[in-house]
Amino acid sequence: MYILQAIASISHQEVFQKELFWSNLHALEAETNIQHPDYKAFIPANALRRLSPILRMGIACAKSCQEAISEPFDSISVGTGLGCLIDTEKFLVTINTTSGDILSPTAFIQSTHNTISGQISLDLKNHAYNMTHTQNTLSFEVALLDGMLCVDEGKKHVLVGAADETVPFLKRLQPDIVSDEYPLTSGATFMVIGSENKSDAVGIVACELSFKQRDLTTWVDAFLAKHQMTAAQIGLVLHYDALELNDFQNKLSYAPLVGYNMSAPAFAAHLAVDWLKDSANQGAVLLINNMDSNKQALTLFQKA
Amino acid sequence: MSDFKETLKAQIIEQLNLEDLQPSDIQDDAPLFGEDGLGLDSIDALEFIVLLDSNYNIKIADPNQGRDIFYSVNTLADYISKNKQ
């Protein structure tokens, strides 16, 4: 099992550096604001001025995790579906509206997907393994698998996370490229995993991906059996889109709580962890990422 | 000239995202780079080159000139007034 050492999220819910927050969650309205913390507490002012929201969120979550474990990360794995959209849009608009002879370097430098993990590394002066994964709605789980492999290699404090930010232009891509079922949102969730167990810990048992459509009932049965579990031992199933899994009593769609961004499953992972930390809840949590029917993931969480 | 310097300071704040500063916070003769001044860095130097090109149509052919041109608001304003096209 991969033991969770710290976790932090910034989202449209008030969850940053909070525990047992389920009772404060609410379904998001159509127009909703992200709950930004005071970034000056995490990022020097001279660096903060250049950073777009996705970078601020990523660094603040990573540093919150760093403070919680008081040890340097042995690796950093970040997932992002669409990357640094605000800087990308700014750079492209500048190209389109000027002669393009000389362009602002900041937006260009920070428009690449790996800016999030890079800025975390720079800010923390951390020169460990640093990797960015972009696989649309599976970006978080791919980064998580990378982090789990790092733990298998013996790394003790493995940072894994995902972040995405929205821009108004995404509305023009609805519904063909971007779903219009839920509000477009931004968010970041980062966690530290390792192998060292401790009392009251929560862990990740396993994560499996599929880059093709699969029958979820068959897949879930096989996944649970592989890890010596039955449907009766699952206390909560978190899923994005509607699904029919009749063997499970307690199912909840996390989509109304997080909205649409490609890192939404990372926030759902935080929901799973927080649910397990509540001593009143019994059983494991199965997180089903079915945001895209052609790219699915199963992640199993339980108390360690 | 003093109105021009105020305009220039506003452009610097916008181009460099110095969101916590007002034009009045920038002294005309204070160094812009390094710990004694605003603490600007090499990326900001590139932003200055963009600012001169986009606002004043001034192209700096020799990047080594930047150290003297961008030393302070005074040196920058003086260079622009002499080279503005």
Which value, in Å, is the radius of gyration of the alpha carbons in chain A? Answer: 19
Q: Which residue has the higher pLDDT, A222 or B3?
A: A222
Segment 175-214 of chain A within 8 Å of chain B by CB = none
Q: How confident is the model at residue A105 (pLDDT cuts 50, 70, 90)?
A: confident
Q: What is the DSSP code (8-state) at residue B64? A: G
Tell me the residue type at A120: I
Could you confirm whether domain A2-194 is CATH 3.40.47.10? yes
Q: B19 CA to chain A: closest CA distance, Å?
A: 6
Q: Are A75 and A158 in contact (CB under 8 A)?
A: yes
Q: What is the DSSP code (8-state) at residue A27? A: P
Q: A149: which 2 tokens?
A: 């492999």
Separation of alpha carbons A198 and B54, rounded Å: 58
| pLDDT, tens digit, 9 for 90 and up, residues A227-274 | 999 999 999 999 999 888 888 989 999 999 999 999 999 999 999 999
| Site of tokens 């990523």 | A58
Q: Taking the CA of residue B58 as centre, how many other CA atoms within 13 Å lie in the half-sphere pointing to its CB?
A: 22
Q: Quick one: fold of A202-303?
A: Peroxisomal Thiolase; Chain A, domain 1 (3.40.47)
Sorted by where each begins, the domain ranges of chain A are 2-194, 202-303
Q: What angle do helix axes A53-69 and A85-97 make, rounded to 10 degrees?
A: 150
Q: B74 CA to chain A: closest CA distance, Å?
A: 23
CA A82 to chain centroid: 13
Is pLDDT above 80 for A145? yes
Task: Give me the phi and psi of A192, to 5 degrees please.
Answer: -110, 130
Q: What architecture is domain B2-83?
A: Orthogonal Bundle (1.10)
Q: B37: which 2 tokens?
A: 């001044």
Q: Do domains A2-194 and A202-303 have the same CATH topology?
A: yes
- Quote the pLDDT of residue A100: 62
Candidate from B15, B18, B49 with C-beta closest to A102: B49
Sorted by where each begins, the domain ranges of chain B are 2-83
Cis peptide before A175 (omega within 30 of 0): yes
Chains A, B: CB pairs < 8 Å: 30
